[in-house]
Structure formats: structure tokens, C-alpha cells
Amino acid sequence: MALTSLDWLVLGLTLAAPVAIGVVYGRRSGRSLSQFFLSGRDLPWWLAGTSMVATTFAADTPLAVTGIVAASGVAGNWLWWNAALGSMLTVVFFARLWRRAGILTDVEFVELRYTGRTARVLRAVRALYLGLPVNCLVIGWVNLALAKVLSVALGWERLTGVLVGLAATGGYSALAGLRGVVAADLVQFAVAMAGAGALAWYALAAPGVGGIDGLLAALPDSTFRLWPAVGSTDGTLAGAPAMLALPVASFIAYLGVQWWASWYPGQEPGGGGYVAQRMMSARGERDALLATLWFTVAHYCLRPWPWVLVALAALVLYPDLTDREAGYVLVLRDHLPPGWRGLLVGAFFAAYMSTVSTQLNWGTSYLVNDVYKRFVRPDATEAHLVRVSRLTTILVMAASGVLTLHLDSVQQAWEFVLESGAGVGLVLILRWYWWRVTAVSELAALAAAAAGFLFVRFFTGIPFPESLLYLVPWTTACWIAATLATPADPLAHLVRFYRRTRPGGPGWRAVAAAAGEPPPARLAPDLRRWGAGTVAVYLTLAATHAALFRSAGEALLLACAAALAAWLAGSLIRRPSTDA
């Protein structure tokens, strides 16, 4: 694909803008770890929430969605749409709690919630595991996606693409800290969305596609289904060709198990990871809640559809393509006029940089705050810790670049992370709401999940996501048994945690009584709000789907129902709260 001078200018500006932001914010971020990793805890909700959305829009997501649609139709996206249930759970139950905890990382929560040697071991294990192998894997698959884009679009070798992307992103991430990362996210998200929308427009206008009507005529009806139909005897969609079939068992695993049971970056049960980092960096509890709400609506309801439209067009334009994920980039290469190509390549760079900058900052926060500061140099000055943070950012960047060269598929990496953490999610949720959960519970869950994953992967033929139906009960049984077989944390420590975070529900009633505190708040009202909010999100998703592929009347009815559900959930936002 030949780029014009205008294309190269746009691409150059896309790369230069975040570096300039890093220079602007570099001095401020160097004042302390709180500034470097939490931006001084003063982010407004719209900036924190947009940063969450930008981070989940990486170079890998359009490619992975293209592969999913090619394999299972629109309904295949329930692989990640299911996580809206968990995101709304974070909005209602966890956003205020994370902001109220007043900690620097979600791994630091371990020693706020638990005590003793086991808690120290768990903190070190989680920090090292998430900060190095998991974080490098996430950055690696995002690198892989960018390399694929640049290989098809510009003819670059994989190593060249990785080095260019990492050099630009690692430099400003190490300099700018979270404030610079978030400010750059705002610009990068606008560029990425503009590029995705433009590509969808030109894909539908491409010769041989004929707009949405042309897609509906060229592809089987099963391709466009939002919900899986009742399966045939082999468990696939009734009437669907094998290429476009989503097994009903897979849908059950996605919607009934995966969203609460598996750890995945940006979709952690209990709202951990970089989502917790954004909530803890918000100005107060209300901003933390609104940021997560905006992220949930934008991430699941609004942003996916340009990707889906390009994926459908790629099925028509390249019916015999072997690497289905590359279909998205081929549409970019073959059907964009001069001038737009630089913007689209720049949009991929913007999406890539917003994700990798967050991953570098987030992963480094574990290694520095939860390993180096906690166990190696507890007496280190803030200036020293910031210097170590910047050096660690560069080292993590280099390690992820090496890992990229050993990855083959974005979706394969997604599935590995979801499957290897199957069953861990429930303990991450219940540690907030059941006093009896201990550090032993979490360690047992991590060990059981790893052992179960290895057994399923090497000794059975159970594919993902059906494997979740076996792995989750196994992991859950192991950590509950370990919990009941070992002592609880001391009452005095539990009382301190309860008074600091004030979680609700019957799981803390005994601790509240022992502390002489009023009974914990009831969970039933928040459960109703969670249900109404989740219904509102999925009805909005369905309304957008109907507007694109079905009828305006159906879309209007669904939109009205979504508005009613959102109004019912609105008391969550109007309810007064005490900001931390």
C-alpha cells in the first residue's frame, strides 16, 4: 500500500503527539509514586472513563473481532460482550470501594484485606505474575496485532513494526506517568474512533459489498444473529454453516460463567487491574463510579459496531482468506482512498499506544510498589522510586517485545489468559463481601486454576470455552475447601478493614457486631440496580444491532426499553455518597 505525503504527515503527527504530552507531564509525574501511577488521585470521571475505553481499544481488538465474526458470526462476540455483566458489577458494587481503600495498586489491597506471612507471599506472587508474564503477554499480543497491520499495510517485517511501536510508546510512558498516559489516551481515542468509523464507511461502499443491504443479501442470516438460536443436535446454530456457527455450550459458558469466573485484563471480576487503577485515581467515589459507567456503555454498546461492519465486509470481499484476522487490514489496504490511509494506520498506532502505555504503567506499578518498595527498598525516597519506575517501564517494554516474536494469534492469546485463570474470579469478588476469605483462599485459587488448566490442555480434548464448565467448579471447590480448612484472619485486622472500606452485605455482619458498628448495608438494592443497569446495557446493544441489521421500529422499541431500564438504575447515581 503506497502512502502519500499527506498520509505520512498524519501518521507522523499521531506518533509525535503522545511524545509531546509525555514531555509536558514528565516533570509533574516525577514528584512521587502517587503522581506517577495515580496522577495525584484527581482525575475527573470523563477523563478516567475515556482512558479505560481507549485502553481496551488496542490494535488487536479489530483484528480479533474480525476473526471472531468470520468463525461464529456477530454472536461470536459474546466471547467478550458477556463481560458487561462484570463491568456493571464493578460500577454498582466495587467502584466506591476501590476509591475508598486509598491504596496505590489493587495488589496492595492484599495486605489491606489480609495479614501475616501468607498475605505477604500472596502480594509478591500476584505482583510478579501480573507485572511480568501476564503483562508481557498482553503487550505481546498487542504488538503482534500492530505488526500484522504494518506487515500487510506497509510491507514491514514483524520486528520492524514491534520496534517502532514500542520505542514510541515506551519512551513517553516512562516519562509521563499516568497523567500523561491518560491525557494521550483522550487524543488517541478520538483518532482511533475516527479511523474505525471511516474504514467502516469505505468498507460498506466497496465494489461488491453494496452497503448493509448487500451484506444481508450476500451472507447467511445466521451471520447477523445477535443471540444464538436453539442448537441443532451437534450443538451449533440451527441452519448455520459450520464456519459461522456458535455452539450453544459456548454461549452458556460465555454468559453464565466466564464474566465472573475468569481473570482478564480490563474485565477482572471485582474490578481490578488498570480499571481499579483508574478508579483509584479519580477525584472521589462518585467520579470513580461515573468513570466505570461511561466505560461500560462505550465499550460494549457503541464502539464495536464499526469493527463488526468491516469484519462482515471482509467476509464478502475475501471469502477464501486463510488468516481471517488479516481481513480487517486488507480492507484498509485495498479500499481506502489516498489521504485516509495515513489516518487509518495512525488510528492503529493510536489504539496500540493507548493500550501499551497503560499496560506498561500498570505492570510497572506492581513491580515497583508491590515488590521493590515493599520487599527490597522500603526506605527508598520518592525520587528514587520514580527513577526505578521509569527504568522498569523500559525493561518491561523490552521483555514484551521479545515475547511478541513467539506469538501466532491474537485470539489464541486471549483464550489462554481466560482459560488459565478460570475460577479465580469468584474469590476476587467474595474477598470484599465475606470476612472468612483469606490469603490462603487466593493462593489456593491461583494454584488450582493453573493445575486445572495444564490438565485440560494436555490430557483432555475439551476446547475453550467449554473447558470453563469444568475448570471453574474445580477451582472453586479447591479454594473454598482451603478456606474452611485454615484459620481466619485476626478479628482486629478484619475490624480495621471493615471500618476503612465499609463493604455491605451479611458476610460482614459478625465483624460489624464485634466492632460495635451498625449493621452493614443491605445488598438487595444494589443487586436490583445491577440487574437494571445490565439490562439497559444489553438492550442498548440490541437496539444498535436492530438499527443496523433489522428495522427502525424494532430499534426504537429496544431503545425505549433500554431508557426505562437505565432510569430504574439511575438511583445509583443520584444516591448521595461520602467521598474519600
* 3-state helix/strand/coil string of 29-97: HCCCHHHHHHHHHCECHHHHHHHHHHHHCCCHHHHHHHHHHHHHCHHHHHHHHCCHHHHHHHHHHHHHH
Of the residues 407, 433, 457, the one at which a domain ends? 407
**Based on the domain organization, do 390 and 250 belong to the same domain?**
yes
pLDDT at 215: 94
Cell triple for 424: 479465580
Task: Give me the phi and psi of 231, to 5 degrees please.
Answer: -75, 160
Q: Is the domain of 344 the same as that of 475?
A: no
**Which residue in the block uniquely carries the three cell numbers 476501590?**
98
The per-type count for the chain, helices as H runs and strands as E runs, is: 29, 0
For residues 56 and 352, what is the distance between their CA atoms, to the nearest angstrom? 10
Note whether residue 572 is domain-resident. no
Are residues 380 and 433 located together in one domain of the fold?
Answer: no
Same domain as 449, residue 315: no
535 located within any domain: no
| String of DSSP letters for 518-573 | PPPPPSHHHHHHHHHHHHHHHHHHHHHHHHHHS-HHHHHHHHHHHHHHHHHHTHHH
Do 475 and 393 reside in the same domain of the chain?
no
Q: What is the per-residue burial (b if ≥16 Cβ within 10 Å, else e) of 490-521?
A: eeebbbebbeebbbbbebbeebbeebeeeebe
388 and 425 co-located in one domain? no
Rounded distance between C-alpha atoms, residue 294 and residue 310, angstroms: 25
Q: Assess whether 259 and 399 both reside in one domain.
A: yes
Cell of 266: 480490563
Instruction: Show pLDDT as tens, one digit a residue, over the chain (580 residues).
Output: 667 787 788 778 877 777 777 667 666 666 678 888 888 889 999 999 999 998 888 777 888 899 889 988 998 898 889 889 999 999 999 999 999 999 999 999 999 999 999 999 999 999 999 899 888 888 887 887 777 777 777 777 766 766 776 776 777 677 777 778 888 888 888 888 888 899 999 999 999 999 999 999 999 988 898 887 544 333 333 333 444 456 677 777 777 777 888 777 777 888 888 899 999 999 999 999 999 999 999 999 888 999 999 999 999 999 888 888 889 989 988 888 877 888 888 888 777 888 888 888 889 999 999 999 999 999 999 889 989 998 998 888 888 877 777 766 656 666 777 788 888 999 999 999 999 999 999 999 999 999 999 999 888 888 887 888 899 999 999 999 999 999 999 999 999 999 999 999 999 999 999 999 999 999 988 999 999 999 999 999 999 999 999 999 999 999 999 999 999 888 655 554 444 3
- Helical axes 135-154 vs 410-420, angle rounded to 10°: 170
Q: Tell whether 358 and 431 lie within a shared domain.
A: no
Residue 242 domain flag: yes
Whether residue 475 is found in the same domain as residue 353: no
342: CATH: 1.20.1730.10
Last residue of a domain, one of 383, 407, 431: 407
Check whether residue 294 and residue 384 sit in a common domain. yes
Q: Looking at the structure, tell me whether residues 382 and 348 fall in a common domain.
A: yes
> Which of 354, 373, 407 is where one domain is finished?
407
Q: What angle do CA 221, 194, 7 make, to 5 degrees?
A: 115
What is the total count of domains within the chain? Answer: 2
Domain that holds residue 435: 421-489
Residues 357 and 448 in one domain: no
Q: Which three cell numbers stand for residue 215?
A: 451484506
Amino acid at 457: R
Q: 557-571 burial string, b = 16+ CB within 10 Å, else e? A: ebbebbeebbebbee
Quote the cell numbers at residue 17.
Answer: 503527539
Give ∠ CA 64-69-71 in degrees, rounded to 5.
Answer: 95
Rounded-to-integer distance, Cα 160 and Cα 143, Å: 11
